[in-house]
Amino acid sequence: MIHRRLLPAVAAGWLLAAGAAWAISDPSEALPDAAQEARAVAIGQELRCLVCQNESIEDSGADLARDLRHLVRQQVAAGASDQQVVAWLVARYGNFVRLNPPFEWSTVLLWGSPLLAVVIGGGIALFARQRRPAAPKPLDAAEQARLQALLEP
């Protein structure tokens, strides 16, 4: 039986432990070294789960994602750099595994689309400006007289 005055401290301890587990569901998956674990989480959040496809391997509950989390941690613990871990996975699953795809020929349209939108929008705006009819000429004396005649009751 825990003493009543100790309860808040025990609860706080549990919550802190839960916080250390970050996104993964099972705290036993985490690396003992906090700095290495933080790196593994950062790497994993940039890697796509191949089963659900729109979640990172850190967020996914899929079996394959759990295996990949484990492999990422194994490599981090063995001293691999972030780039080495990502390259290891890209060699198996291709650039699709990266949630942040690199700039290359096949992704030019993806990365260039904001610029493309600005260019197309600017082009349309310019075209519309040029097509706007010129301001009408001021009325000459004869037209002024006719307008006066029409306006007078």
Partner 1 sequence: MNRRLMLLAPFGVVALAGAGFFAMLERETEGKFDPRGVPSMLIGKRVPAFALPGDPGFADSDLSGKPILVNFFASWCVPCIEEAAVLLSLQQAGVPIYGIAYKDKPAATAGFLAQHGNPYARVGRDDPGLVAIDWGVTGVPENYLIDKDGVVRWRWVGPLTQAAVRGELQPLLRRFA
Residues in contact with partner 1 by the rule CB under 8 A: 50-51, 53, 63-64, 67-68, 71, 90-94, 96
Q: Please, which residue, 13 or 102, has the CB nearer to partner 1?
A: 102
Q: How far apart are CA 15 and CA 36, in angstroms?
A: 21
Q: How far apart are CA 93 and CA 58, in angstroms?
A: 17
CB of 87 to partner 1, least distance (A): 12
CB of 50 to partner 1, least distance (A): 4
**3-class secondary structure, 47:** strand
Burial class (CB in 10 A: 0-12, 13-18, 19+), 137: exposed
CB of 73 to partner 1, least distance (A): 14
CB of 53 to partner 1, least distance (A): 6
- 30's tokens: 């985490």
Q: Please, which residue, 53 or 148, has the CB nearer to partner 1?
A: 53
Q: How far apart are CA 132 and CA 123, in angstroms?
A: 14
Q: Please, which residue, 10 or 87, has the CB nearer to partner 1?
A: 87
Q: How far apart are CA 82 and CA 65, in angstroms?
A: 18
Q: Please, which residue, 23 or 52, has the CB nearer to partner 1?
A: 52
